[in-house]
Amino acid sequence: MFENKDNKPPAKTSQLTALSELGEFGLIDRLTSPVKLYHPETLKGIGDDAAVIDAGDHVLLLSTDLLVEGIHFDLTYVPFRHLGYKAAVVNISDIAAMNGIPKQMTVSIAASSRFSVEALDELYSGILIACEKYKVDLVGGDTSASTKGLVISVTITGTALREEVVYRSGARPGDLLCVTGDLGSAYMGLLVLEREKKVFQVNPGMQPELTGYDYQIGRQLKPEARTDIRNLFLGLGIKPTSMIDISDGLASEILHLCKHSDTGCKLFEEKIPIDAGTREMALEYKIIPSLTALSGGEDYELLFTVQQADYEKIKEVNGITVIGHMTDRSHGKFMITPDGKQVALTAQGWDGLK
């Protein structure tokens, strides 16, 4: 079926498209645009934090994430145990982003001969700590050699009632844009770790200077998934109209909600919750503090929208901040700076504040 029947020579390299031309999201769109769904049970396929599958009295949520050494993690400063924990947590976070309960996961690894058995023991101990904390059953996986480096692929399931599931696509103009916790610290933690790595490369005798940055480094190396927010919503009697987890920057996640919900947005820069220490650190690094949140990523907090009528219910809740609202699509996607300037939001942060 896949034979080259005409015996045509392969296309010349010059006619081929470099992956970098499309970027990650462009590539996903291109590869998945011919996808057809054959089963009515598949309520939601590609395009959200998890797929949604009808299972009779409830729905099954299904999501997968791949972590590649040198792309997603750097073993010069990430301990194996933390890596395992994070690999599990980033998947659990995708179930939280659908307003579901995480249930089972599979873990597949490919490791080169560079790795010891003890290193992989540590990796698994981290995975299992996360499984215990979030009550997820590890039910399978696959193991392979690799020519170079370590690759970890985790697939997770979760459950929810059909009417409980929150998609990226449900936001309407006027809905309030909210975020859990604080943002930007994971990015500052990464900068500290990268800085100390450089120092170490120049002078291997030096001890890393990590004191004073515990919160930021913890946010980077040991993120948590906000599975608690589902219960908070239940307690408040709120159902968000849309939701996504913040794995990339806040800006890029807001744009995802706008794209899938077909809305515009207005984000207020001064409302973005940023830890005081992180803010101070950003200034020391000569970075505009809000950029750590807008473009940093890896905080694994939840970004969601609620109807304006729910404002009274959430305004006093500790750990939830209203950062803006959705608008009609024709109004565009903007951030308002503290001095009242309106700047266009882009996946990198914003335009026009050079």
Residue 111, C-beta contacts closer than 8 angstroms, at least 6 positions apart: 120, 144, 145, 146, 150, 151
Closest residue by Cα to residue 160 from 58, 54, 230, 242: 58
Restricted to residues 38-77, the positions that interact with ligand ADP (CB under 6 A) are 46-49, 65
> Minimum Å distance from CB 182 to ligand ADP?
20
The nearer residue to ligand ADP, 54 or 122, going by C-beta atoms, is 54
- Across the strands, what pairs with 334? 266, 344
196: left (phi over 0), alpha (psi -120 to 50) or beta: alpha
- Residue among 224 and 245 whose Cβ is closer to Mg ion: 245
Size of the site for ligand ADP (CB under 6 A): 10
Residue 47 binds what, of ligand ADP, Mg ion, none (CB under 5 to 8 Å, by partner type)?
ligand ADP
User: What H or E segment, with its residue span, contains residue 141?
Assistant: strand 137-145
Contact of residue 28 among Mg ion, ligand ADP, none (CB under 5-8 Å per partner type) = ligand ADP
How far, in Å, CA of 306 to CA of 238, rounded? Answer: 8
Please identify which residue in 44, 48, 49, 77 interacts with Mg ion, judged by CB under 5 A. Answer: 49
Contact 99, 241 (CB under 8 A): no
| Contact stretch for ligand ADP (CB under 6 A) within 27-35, 233-241, 279-287, 312-320 | 27-35
CB of 94 to Mg ion, least distance (A): 4
Q: Which does 125 bind (CB under 5 to 8 A by kind): ligand ADP, Mg ion, none?
A: none
Binding map of Mg ion across residues 210-249, x = CB under 5 A, - = no contact: -----------------------------------x----
Phi-psi region of 352 (alpha: psi -120 to 50; beta: other; left: phi over 0): left
Q: Which of ligand ADP, Mg ion, none does residue 65 bind (CB under 5 to 8 Å by kind)?
A: ligand ADP
Angular region, 34: left φ>0, alpha ψ -120 to 50, beta rest:
alpha
**Considering the complex, what minimum distance in angstroms separates the CB of residue 234 from Mg ion?**
21
Q: Which is nearer to Mg ion, 44 or 81 (by Cβ)?
A: 44
Reading the block at residue 167, the tokens are 């998609």
Identify whether the C-beta of residue 332 lies closer than 8 Å to the C-beta of residue 266.
Answer: no
User: For the chain, how far is it from start to end, CA to CA, in angstroms?
Assistant: 53
Query: With binding defined as CB under 6 A, does residue 37 bind ligand ADP?
Result: no
Nearer to ligand ADP, 31 or 206 (CB): 31
Residue ranges that bind ligand ADP, judged by CB under 6 A: 28, 31-32, 46-49, 65, 94, 247
